[in-house]
Chains A and B, each alone.
Chain A
Amino acid sequence: MNPNLKWKALFILVVILFCIYFLLGLPTFPTSLAQVKDNFSHQIKLGLDLQGGTHLILQVQVQEAIAQETDQTVDRLTNELRTRNIHYEEVRRVDDTHILVRNIDPSQLGQFRDLVTAQYANVWDLTPAAGDPSGYTLTLRPGAIAQIQESTMAQSLETIERRINALGLTEPTIQRRGGRNENEILVQLPGEGDPTRAKSVIQAGGQLELRLVEDPRSYPSQSEALAAHGGILPAGTELVPGRSETRTPSGAPDTSEAWYVLSRAPVVTGRDLRTAVENRNTNNPGQWQVNFTLSPEAARRFGPFTQQNISRQMAIVLDHRVYSAPVINGRIDDSGMIEGSFSQDTAHDLALVLRAGALPASIKYLEERTVGPSLGADSIRHGVQASVLSLVVVMLFMLVYYRLSGGNAVLALILNLIILLAVLALFGAVLTLPGIAGVILTIGMGVDSNVLVFERIREELRNGKSPGSAVEAGFSKAFLTIIDTHVTTVVSAFFLFLFGTGPIRGFAITLTIGLIANVFTAIYVSKTIFQYHLAKMDRQAELSI
């Protein structure tokens, strides 16, 4: 026998064994049938549509972080101008990326320019304001915007990751998605049939601040609060809404809205927290609260601060809402609590969010898909049943129609599937429902290649060629056609992969792998089997095709 043929056969055998080992032999070599099954389901990961779970696409409102940067710059600039005694009429935020400074004292213009170039030039561009000879516009640089965007996205991703990991779900996926300016994050929670809780944990702002209350009274509305101060709040304060602290005559807590006048600068923020834990509310047994402790540095600040402000009120502000405003009764070093109408779950989630840190900007949900476990199980059952049934039908037909050669085709098809699954496992790709459809189409294309070759061989035999040369001619003539058809399909699959998302991509991946495997099995393997058979059989015998 041709030694070349032996090498080919050996090569094919090695490929098959490698694929089977990869599918069933990892991660631990199986010693029982159950382990084989376990290994297989470990290697072939199922997509959300098959195992059930939640798929969320959320968008980080980066614009908020940019607006915040502008706000902070306005505050900083105002302070700087005051301390340097530079006179001006107004420093105003025009929009998210522009600040206008009006009517600067003409003799101090040089001083103003020097200040801005020295302190703000790497982030802000300074240009003369239109229609105001002594005014300037500060424009946030594109580079700085991009940097804010980048850091906001990175921080959001990290925070969301910490929060979701704290929820203790299995194998969550959290990744950035879409183009640079889409600011989108994809969250996949396999096996999670009800995303309500995960969603609220992800979306929670988690911005905790402890601020001094500047006015002991609280007001039922914003306008009343303003009226009480003659229309202008004291410098460095702002109005923050919250719940009223008073109780109704019957003793039940008053749930009506209340506005507090708070100092703008927080004494302590969420970053100063060391831990946060939910606990039963000692005064109100049915309710829960969140106790927190501060980091040592924050405690060093907080201790003296509370000492100085005994008998004043301290507001606990979460996501720009006052939760409570207790009176400071004595020096507090490092602990506090957040009271509210929390259940055990909501208190637990709040503590979790506080531990994981605040989001730099708020979040909107763009898309949500939840597949219940029973639908996933249904889909697998249907998909596998359909695949197996079509495979059996196709194989039976090939065996009846092409007899022994049909067996060759059946072998090529099975091998094709094994390689396809092994490559999927190798790349860690997940099998989705459209992926199963891709597998079924691969079966179709595989049959097509075999039929093309076999019909060609039959034609050559009809033209009177010997079995050996008919096989040779059949393969070589069908080869170009097979390559052409496969390349065109791969070209379209390539575009599907490049521009498609989710289900379309899964489909494109399985189809492409299947097609490449098919060129190998339907041409290389099938031809080797034919040659093997031809080498062994009687020269005069007819080919069973």
Chain B
Amino acid sequence: MIELFKQPNIDWMGKAKYFYALSGILLLAGWISIFVNGGLRYGIDFKGGTNVDVRFAQAPNVDKLRSGLAAQGLGNTEIQSISDIANPNSNEVLIFVEGKNQDEQDLDASRVKVLNALNATYGVSTSSRADFNSATPTTLAAALAEKDPLFLSVNAGDRYTQLAKKILDYRDKNANGVLTNFDDLSKVDGVTPAVLAATKNSYALGPFAIRNVEIVGPKVGAELRTQAILVTLYALGGMLVYIAFRFEWVYGAAAVLAVFHDVLITLGFFSLLHFEISLTVIAALLTLVGYSMNDTIVIFDRIRENNRLLRKESFADVVNKSINQTLSRTILTSGLTFLTVLVLFLMGGQVLRAFSFALVVGIVVGTYSSFGIAAPLVVAWNHWRGRGVAASTGPAAGNKTRGSENVSGRLAPVGRR
């Protein structure tokens, strides 16, 4: 049998003040950074505006692009290169145009301007042929049918539609959306030299392809922002009620406080490392809320169970014992889940980057907070209440030290009362 820990015997509660200090530092660092940066960085979902994601055939010259955009009257743009470990030279750029004071009517205007700027800066001005990299299956099929390189004439049926789909599938999947050499198409099943010639004849290879356009109006942005905050609060409230119902309200409160702490620290990391908060990040934050809650409940469940068995021991000892007993489960599960989201972070592509980042941070913080914050909070409350009760019953209570939990204040699960 492989075991991570034989019989761990760590005094977790004795280290509570270090945990508090660590959390304090993390919270402070993150929130100072948020303050210095003038607030969180919101993604397009929440602030509105226009995002255009472009992939180029060659590494783009960002300065040239910027002046091209400025020439179209788009001064307030952000240009961000996109690359990841799996694809370090993606030649991909994200252009963001702010839309704060933009009226809904001209939502489309900045998209058109960005496209104009791209065309003016990189456009195939020497050729009147259509751009292959922006061809759709319908247009390509029509072009092929017109040239009819397979001499099918009236019997063509949907042969050219199928062929067009295959060719564009190759462009999108194998050539990452931007074909740089027509001859590569000869690898596609069904592309004969005649088909290739017909394609070359009808199309030119544009130097870029638009991969993604997002336009969010200010109304939707504001709506989504309120919605995100509400959803988070409702979810937290729902969990609080459930835990209060299953355990005791202190447990619920401690768990929710710990989870809240996780969210705040994760947001701090978002600011520190310049990630943007998008709609999917909110989903990730809520997942982390659920996950951290999970961890906390596993420990609380053990505390509840041990409370019944170990009536002689102090509450802090019961909590220590419970954490130690569940430690290998905690480490195993967190470790494996951490691995899963790390894979997602490294390989999940740019769309999932911020999402998985929230989870990578959140799982570490969430695991830590269940024994570092939630459990000590319950012990502290118990300790405080115990002293309060003792003080009212006898004068000796005042100079009690750590043993005070022995006297009273053992938190009991609801069922035992």
Contact = CB atoms under 8 A, between A and B. Distances in A.
B281 to A, nearest CB: 10
Contacts of A376: 172
**Interface size bucket, B side?**
35 or more
Interface string A377-416: 1110111011001100110010011000000000000000
7 contacts: A369-B214, A374-B172, A452-B329, A455-B328, A489-B294, A492-B286, A508-B283
Nearest to B342: A390
Contacts of A508: 283
B337 to A, nearest CB: 4
A495 B333 contact: no
B211 A492 contact: no
A489 B332 CA distance: 20
A504 interface: yes
A30 to B, nearest CB: 21
Interface in B147-181: 168, 171-173, 176-178
A397 B336 contact: yes
Of all A-B residue pairs in the complex, the 10 with the closest CB atoms, nearest first, are A374-B177, A382-B349, A444-B337, A489-B290, A492-B235, A374-B172, A390-B340, A368-B215, A370-B213, A375-B211
B329 A491 contact: no
A285 interface: no
B325 A501 contact: no
The CB with the most chain A CB atoms within 10 A, among B243, B305, B340, is that of B340
B339 interface: yes
B304 to A, nearest CB: 9
B393 interface: no
A373 B333 contact: no
Contacts of B227: 499-501
Interface in A486-508: 487-489, 491-496, 498-504, 507-508
Contact of A488 (B2, B243, B283): B243
A366 to B, nearest CB: 4
Interface stretch (A84-92, A247-255, A432-440): A432-440
Nearest to A477: B305
A375 B231 contact: no
Contacts of A492: 235, 238-239, 286, 289-290, 293
A44 to B, nearest CB: 18
A25 interface: no
A488 B290 contact: yes
A332 interface: no
A59 B293 CA distance: 39
B340 A365 contact: no
B352 interface: yes
Contacts of B234: 495, 498-499
Contacts of B168: 373
Given A368-B213, A485-B298, A500-B231, A545 B344 contact: no
* Main SS at interface, chain B: helix
Given A451-B329, A492-B286, A503-B280, A385 B215 contact: no
Nearest to B104: A364
B224 interface: yes
A447 interface: yes
Interface string B281-316: 011101101110110011001100100000000000
A374 B209 CA distance: 9
A492 B283 CA distance: 10
B283 A503 contact: yes
Contact of A382 (B289, B337, B347): B347
Contact of B212 (A364, A375, A511): A375
B173 A383 contact: no
A502 B287 CA distance: 16
Contact of B283 (A367, A445, A480, A507): A507
A484 B301 contact: yes
Interface in B53-72: 53, 55
Interface string B110-127: 010000000000000000
B132 interface: no
B340 A495 contact: no
Interface in A145-191: none
A73 B213 CA distance: 44
A485 to B, nearest CB: 4
A441 B108 CA distance: 37
B50 to A, nearest CB: 9
Nearest to A481: B301
Contact of B217 (A365, A375, A433): A365
Interface string B320-358: 000001101100110011011101100111011001100
Interface in B175-209: 176-178, 209
B246 interface: yes
A484 B246 contact: yes
A389 B343 contact: yes
Given A378-B349, A385-B347, A491 B239 contact: yes
B177 A372 contact: yes
Nearest to B86: A382
A459 interface: yes
Given A368-B214, A488-B243, A504-B282, A394 B290 contact: no
Interface in A75-96: none
The CB with the most chain A CB atoms within 10 A, among B227, B243, B344, is that of B344
Contacts of A240: none
A62 B216 CA distance: 21
Nearest to A448: B333
A419 B114 CA distance: 45
B109 to A, nearest CB: 11
A194 interface: yes
Contacts of A511: 287
